[in-house]
Structure 1
Amino acid sequence: MTDASSHGPAAPEPVDISLFAKQFQTFLETMDHYATEASRDHIAAELGAHLGTDPRTLDPVRQEFARWQWVEIDRALDELAEEQDLRGVIPSQDASGISDLLANHYSVYELGAIQRRAVPTGPGTVRHVATNALRLLRIGTIPVVVFATELEDGPGDTQNIVVEIICGDHQLARETLANINGFVSRNSVLQGQVVSFLSEEFGSDSLSIEFHSRPHVDAHDVVLPKGRLEKIEATVLGISEKAQRLRAVGQHLSRGVLLYGPPGTGKTLTVRYLLSQAKETTAILLQGESLSKIRAAATAARALGRAIIVLEDADLVAEDRDFNEGERSVLFEILDVLDGLGDDADIAFVLTTNRVDVLEEALAMRPGRIDLAVEVALPTAKLRKRLFTVYSAGLAFTEEGIAQAAKAAEGTTGSFAKEAVRRAVLLALDADEEPADNHLLEAVKALSAEATQLREAMNSEDDESQ
């Protein structure tokens, strides 16, 4: 009989793998919970260490600003205190405010690098603003936290930037926010500038701003029938010069001027002249899709106190409602803005159109919307001669040559004269000669022939399509 002990130690008990897996999963979940809690509370801990109290017990004060005010906001925040500790919030645009950061559900937010964006401040200049910064600072001896960021899904193009403040002294937080708002209002980067409001992308509510150098156009460069430029200037600029006296007697300052006529007759040049004369007045230009930004432009202009808003090619969105249902919302925006300005708003609206016949009567004829409508028509023979004289300044064309060119250019626009002079100079350069009358007359004939060929080709295409 064999002893059982001679077979060595007994075999180990079988391991319950499923039980081990469950215990290991519990371990991982526990570690993840503690890691998540530490991460989630990290922002609250950082702010609490600065404030000396749990920031979740403090109510933030909040204000929203227009997107184009980033530069002023950044400057205002920099001036709150000489020493500031900036912490970047990542991702920033998902947070609607400090409360979101402190709650930090699912540990979405963390502190990281400051993100800065180059925001235009003028033609060719920018400021790199902090767009995701929590600012830890002291006002006097009181610790304060300020958060400024851009809302990803803000309501349109008017209120996109949120600024929030928390500190132990709620009154100080409110006063600080009021000071920021006052600084932003007094130091607008748009003040005295010429800017375009642009749609960032098709169908987007967002806008961007492009700065332009102020044009330099002399009165003699604008060739209109006698008295018309003076009348336009008196309405657009003269009202501002009399603003104080008009307010004193209860008269409104807002006004509208409509410049209408064929393309190339000088409407845009007239607008450029007005802008060149209004050297300290903010000008906001809207064209094409950006015409839908009329309300944002009016809001900015109202805050600035004095402004000119230019709506180029207004017929594109202000056509009669019977013909174009698709643009009604933009038309209504324009009408509402023209009607809704306060009596003391020193804002001039200048509209241009190539097709006055399609402008809705309510826009073009109602006083208070359009105070002055001026036709910028095809130039007469006398005006064409002036145009050729203006555009050929410094060139050796004779008075007789200019008169012949003006006569040959019957039915053309002011831009035709400018291009004819340019074409004459090119012809002279190709012949290695000084520009002379023969070059000018040749240029006029060539341009006239090209225009005739183009019209015939277009008419032919129209006939074929019918």
Structure 2
Amino acid sequence: MADTSKNSPLGTAPIDVNAFAKQFQTFLETMDHYATEASRDHIASELRSHLGTDPRSIEPVRQEYARWQWAEIDAALDSLADDQDLRGVIPAHDASGVSDLLTNHYSVYEIGAIERRAFPTGPESVRHVATNGLRLLWIGEKPVIVLALEVEDGPSDTHKIVVEVMCEDHELARETLAGIDQSVRTNSVIDGQVVSFLPGEFGSEAFSIEFHPRPHIEAQDVVLPKGRLEKIEATVLGISEKADRLRAAGQHLSRGVLLYGPPGTGKTLTIRYLLSQARDTTAILLQGEALSKIRAAASAARAIGRAIIVLEDADLVAEDRDFNEGERSVLFEILDVLDGLGDDADITFVLTTNRVDVLEEAIAMRPGRIDLAVEVPLPSTKLRRRLFSVYGHDFAFTEEGIAQAAKAAEGTSGSFAKEAVRRAVLLAIKAEEDPNDSHLLEAVAALTAEATQLREAMTSDEEWDE
């Protein structure tokens, strides 16, 4: 073994390096022990000082919420008391509750600064939420501690919000948590708004919300065959207007409406019109993968009491196996939710599809879920004239020009007229002229030619594949 003794620079007695290293390691471990104990005791002493008793002897009460509810949770907590001592838990993302802070085995948790993040409360508004808040407050003459954190929920990588209330008076703790929960449910940020539920990444069960301005569409802008818009409006909006009388008569309010027809015929525009007329009604929009969030949407709608839930392109979840949950497709989940709503829930489900044949079997197996099915077909020549008039009302197109455009656009959808007018305006700008009939007719001819070429190319590809 090598000699680990060395003479010191000052010529004093030799030093045993191994012994020194062991003593130094013992010193570091001792200091770490005392630092850990100090940090652990600091959090516990803070809570003990406020509660007037050992916090380890008190069991907190707990409630969990979806991440998108952060704004209303934060508002509910702020309203508990005017005078609150708000502290930050650092780091917040690892702790699952007060017990973790008190145990603090590895001294990872400390009291520090508040972390705030912006969460939407409307199309153009946000609330800066305290996402790691430990609140020390008084309710009446009794000290209370409230913790609100965002934590991961197991392997699904779903983030949830945990709210815990701690008080020596356990009944007061339960009442306080119940009050928080009531405030969250009755002051939902989506109440009266138009929102989309957006799915989480990589198959996560989590989702977020996106706010949209409420559309402003007039009835004359929706061009459907005679009587169909009125029938849809009577089911979606008329029942809400008679809600009190229907409840008094013991009649259910929830209903399902199916709009079906080729793409571009006005299904989405019809929905936008309904949302513009239901100004105080919450609207939840689900599309694509977000259709799997139907139960979350229904739960949020029930809490609010009055809502329209829109499920666009419902045929996709009927035929796409990627949306299947075991043996049950999302479509059957949707139909189950329609059937499971309480009789007094003023909730309308509006489904759209380009392929009603895909939905027919499922709907036939669950009769009574759809109260009204309305076809939104390709427009007739008369309706195409109305469409060109609606989209071209700001320009100097003549009635004769519109009639010629409508006739030339045989077999096209309502969205064709909108695009033709846009193309006519572009042609006029290029020619440095005001839009007129010649531009409109040229645009129609170009769009129909492009559509024909596309159909021929697709047919050719199919024959090649065969």
Quick check: TM above 0.5? yes
Deviations 1:404-431 (A, max 9, x none): 1111100000010111112122222222
The match for 1:96 is 96
- Report the residue type matching 2:263 in the other structure: P
The match for 1:138 is 138
Q: Which residues of 2 match residues 48-447 of structure 1 at below 5 A?
A: 48-153=48-153, 160-319=160-319, 328-363=328-363, 366-447=366-447
Q: State how many pairs are aligned.
A: 456
| Separation in 2, partners of 1:365, 1:404 | 46
| Separation in 2, partners of 1:314, 1:462 | 26
| Separation in 2, partners of 1:442, 1:23 | 92
| Separation in 2, partners of 1:76, 1:174 | 15
Check whether the contact 1:157–1:296 (CA below 8 A) recurs between aligned residues: no
Deviations 1:214-262 (A, max 9, x none): 0011111111111100111111111111211222222211111111111
Check whether the contact 1:65–1:159 (CA below 8 A) recurs between aligned residues: no
Shift of 1:333: 2.5
Query: Mean Cα displacement is larger for which, 378-387 or 418-427?
Result: 418-427
| Separation in 2, partners of 1:460, 1:169 | 78
- Report the residue type matching 2:439 in the other structure: H
SS at match of 1:216: coil
SS at match of 2:153: coil
Distance 1:157 1:410, change over 3 A: farther
Check whether the contact 1:157–1:207 (CA below 8 A) recurs between aligned residues: no
Shift of 1:180: 1.3
Which ranges of structure 2 fall in alignment gaps of 5 or more residues?
1-10
After TM superposition, the score normalised by the length of structure 1 is 0.92
Check whether the contact 1:98–1:147 (CA below 8 A) recurs between aligned residues: yes
- Report the residue type matching 1:339 in the other structure: D
| Separation in 2, partners of 1:159, 1:205 | 9
SS at match of 2:319: coil
| Separation in 2, partners of 1:448, 1:396 | 22
Deviations 1:33-69 (A, max 9, x none): 2221112222111111111111111111111223222
Distance 1:332 1:110, change over 3 A: farther
Deviations 1:432-455 (A, max 9, x none): 222222221111111100111111
The match for 2:5 is none
| Separation in 2, partners of 1:95, 1:307 | 36
SS at match of 1:41: helix
| Separation in 2, partners of 1:67, 1:221 | 38
| Separation in 1, partners of 2:344, 2:229 | 25
Shift of 1:79: 1.4
Distance 1:105 1:335, change over 3 A: farther
- Report the residue type matching 2:226 in the other structure: K
Check whether the contact 2:152–2:158 (CA below 8 A) recurs between aligned residues: no
| Separation in 1, partners of 2:431, 2:280 | 47
Check whether the contact 1:320–1:358 (CA below 8 A) recurs between aligned residues: no
Check whether the contact 2:150–2:160 (CA below 8 A) recurs between aligned residues: yes
Check whether the contact 2:262–2:376 (CA below 8 A) recurs between aligned residues: yes
Query: Mean Cα displacement is larger for which, 182-191 or 129-138?
Result: 182-191
The match for 1:3 is none
Check whether the contact 1:318–1:327 (CA below 8 A) recurs between aligned residues: no
SS at match of 1:32: helix
Check whether the contact 2:287–2:313 (CA below 8 A) recurs between aligned residues: yes
SS at match of 1:208: strand
Distance 1:54 1:320, change over 3 A: closer
- Report the residue type matching 1:308 in the other structure: I
SS at match of 1:383: helix
| Separation in 1, partners of 2:456, 2:258 | 32
The match for 1:4 is none
Shift of 1:359: 1.7
| Separation in 1, partners of 2:131, 2:17 | 52
Shift of 1:326: 8.1
After TM superposition, the score normalised by the length of structure 2 is 0.92
Shift of 1:197: 0.5
The match for 1:6 is none
Shift of 1:402: 1.1
| Separation in 1, partners of 2:425, 2:418 | 11
Distance 1:86 1:291, change over 3 A: same
Shift of 1:91: 1.9
Percent identical among aligned pairs is 79
Deviations 1:146-185 (A, max 9, x none): 1011221269799921111112222221221122122222
Check whether the contact 1:90–1:111 (CA below 8 A) recurs between aligned residues: yes
| Separation in 2, partners of 1:232, 1:148 | 44
| Separation in 2, partners of 1:192, 1:181 | 19
Return the index of the structure with the highest Cα Rg: 1
